[in-house]
Structure 1
Amino acid sequence: MQAFRNQSRLTYLIWGGLALEIIAALITGRWTAAFVAFGTLGLSMTPLFLASRLHIHLPKSIVALAVAFVFATIFLGEVFDFYERLWWWDIALHALSAVGFGIAGFLFVFILFEGDRYAAPPWAMGLLAASIGIMIGVLWEIFEFAMDQAFGLNMQKSGLPDTMGDLIVDVIGASLGGTMGGLYLRGQALGSVSALVDEFVALNSRFFRRFRRKR
């Protein structure tokens, strides 16, 4: 598919590593590792499948970050037990992903308003973006629960304390991501975040008919 072409080296490196792990695990009879690697590979490709169906073009950097997150969360976390080896692993992943979810929520809201910076106050659009980011975080916790129940994994670790801690981090991170979106609408320079939003807008210009760069 066209969407899978011209991705970053990091994306191809992770996909290639997962494919090799699947083959090696099947040969050596490590069925759980093979299953987790296969699930990680499929889930890491999901954003591109969804984007292709919705006719949305994702910047390479967004794809790479999504692939790296899924790889670090499921494969490194479960197969190599990073959650137990590194106490901060779960917190760091949820914090970074929550910020990303908030920014993703902002891009979705921005599409709904066709790129009109003045369709609603920046704080309102930032709040909507944060709410969407928090919803994505909640859906991820449901996914972890489902995987634990269906396949005997241990993604939730300590159960309720782990889930509540993750949700608290999700709220903080998504709020930060939504705040960045609001600041972007106000014309604030946000470095790589602004560049990422500008790239997404340029790749999907048909969704942003009312977009005007604020001077």
Structure 2
Amino acid sequence: MSRIRREPADRRLHRYFVRLMLLLMLAEWLLLALERSWLPLFLVTLIILTLLAPIIFWRRLQVDLPAEFHLLAVVFIFASFYLGEIHDFYARFWWWDIALHASAGFLMGILGFLLVYLLNESRRVELHMTPGFLAFFAFIFAVAIGSLWEIFEFAMDQLVGTRMQKPMLGDPSGLTDTMWDMIVNALGALLISMAGYAYLKRGRNFFVKRWIRAFIERNPGMFTR
């Protein structure tokens, strides 16, 4: 009789967390739809799509996302959209915007590092990149995503009349807020890029290594010809 493989504890915790968040966000979505609060409804829809990302990636691309990275993405988007925009945490806590943009740089740096590292390791793609280029790509990727987000905030404020750009004392235009957002985003990206470079160059400890190893183990077809 073959033994039934037990689901790893982290995967089980991830599954329960996602289900709980989905129930909460679906209930919030229905309330917002009844109230016709269209912008919050749009933001909650984005959170729901993020929660469903592992299913979408698996069905469309046959790619199994790392549970840890998905949890980080969910927590970040929940803190940014639901708590920040819908429940006005940006106004309640002066440091909320700064913390989230620094976290965004950190998170996008991890994503950029994962993407280019996996391409470098894949046998299907003929790429051989140095540790310095991998770290540089992760940094530029995170800064680019942060810049696109600032453009999105500006467009939403101009076209829809939202207040995603937060006016600061002495600068009602929001320019100072935008610049600080980009600076802390770049600092977060720089931190993760330097950590990735140290890991690749000198073999130092790097927590993303475990995520990369798990991703390769769960998606072996991407790394064989």
Identify the TM-score tier after normalising by the shorter chain: 0.7 to 0.9
Displacement of 1:142:
2.1
Provide the rounded CA distance (Å) in 2 between the counterparts of 1:55 and 1:139: 28
Displacement of 1:91:
0.9
Provide the rounded CA distance (Å) in 2 between the counterparts of 1:164 and 1:20: 36
Normalising by structure 2, we get a TM-score of: 0.77
Structure number with bigger Rg: 2
Displacement of 1:50:
5.4
Any stretches of 5+ residues in structure 1 without a counterpart?
Answer: 211-215
- Against the structure 1 CA distance between its residues 34 and 124, is the aligned structure 2 distance closer, same or farther, given a 3 Å change threshold? closer
Provide the rounded CA distance (Å) in 2 between the counterparts of 1:66 and 1:193: 14
Provide the rounded CA distance (Å) in 1 between the counterparts of 2:67 and 2:108: 17
Displacement of 1:35:
1.9
Of the three residues 201, 205, 224, the one matched with 1:189 is: 205
Of the three residues 149, 152, 157, the one matched with 1:140 is: 149
Map of 1:121 onto structure 2:
130
Map of 1:105 onto structure 2:
112
Alignment pair present for 1:162 and 2:177: yes
Displacement of 1:197:
2.5
Provide the rounded CA distance (Å) in 2 between the counterparts of 1:206 and 1:53: 15
- Against the structure 1 CA distance between its residues 115 and 173, is the aligned structure 2 distance closer, same or farther, given a 3 Å change threshold? farther
- Against the structure 1 CA distance between its residues 178 and 17, is the aligned structure 2 distance closer, same or farther, given a 3 Å change threshold? same
Bigger drift between 104-113 and 140-149 goes to 140-149
* Residues 89-139 of structure 1: CA deviation (Å, up to 9, x unaligned): 1111111121111111111111222359x9333122111111111111112
* Residues 166-200 of structure 1: CA deviation (Å, up to 9, x unaligned): 1111111111122222223232112x333222222
Counterpart residue identity of residue 62, structure 2: H
Task: Give the share of equivalent positions with the same residue, in percent.
Answer: 38
- Against the structure 1 CA distance between its residues 13 and 203, is the aligned structure 2 distance closer, same or farther, given a 3 Å change threshold? same
Provide the rounded CA distance (Å) in 1 between the counterparts of 2:93 and 2:62: 39
Counterpart residue identity of residue 19, structure 1: L
Q: How does 1:7-46 map to 2 (within 5 A)?
A: 7-27=14-34, 29=35, 31-32=37-38, 35-45=41-51
Provide the rounded CA distance (Å) in 2 between the counterparts of 1:62 and 1:178: 16
Of the three residues 202, 205, 210, the one matched with 2:220 is: 205
Normalising by structure 1, we get a TM-score of: 0.80
Provide the rounded CA distance (Å) in 2 between the counterparts of 1:34 and 1:25: 7
- Against the structure 1 CA distance between its residues 147 and 103, is the aligned structure 2 distance closer, same or farther, given a 3 Å change threshold? same
Displacement of 1:52:
4.9
- Against the structure 1 CA distance between its residues 206 and 110, is the aligned structure 2 distance closer, same or farther, given a 3 Å change threshold? farther
Provide the rounded CA distance (Å) in 2 between the counterparts of 1:20 and 1:13: 11
Provide the rounded CA distance (Å) in 1 between the counterparts of 2:53 and 2:155: 20
- Give structure 1 regions of 4+ aligned residues with deviation exceeding 6 angstroms: none
Bigger drift between 141-150 and 36-45 goes to 36-45
- Against the structure 1 CA distance between its residues 208 and 73, is the aligned structure 2 distance closer, same or farther, given a 3 Å change threshold? same
Any stretches of 5+ residues in structure 2 without a counterpart?
Answer: 1-10, 168-173
Counterpart residue identity of residue 208, structure 2: V
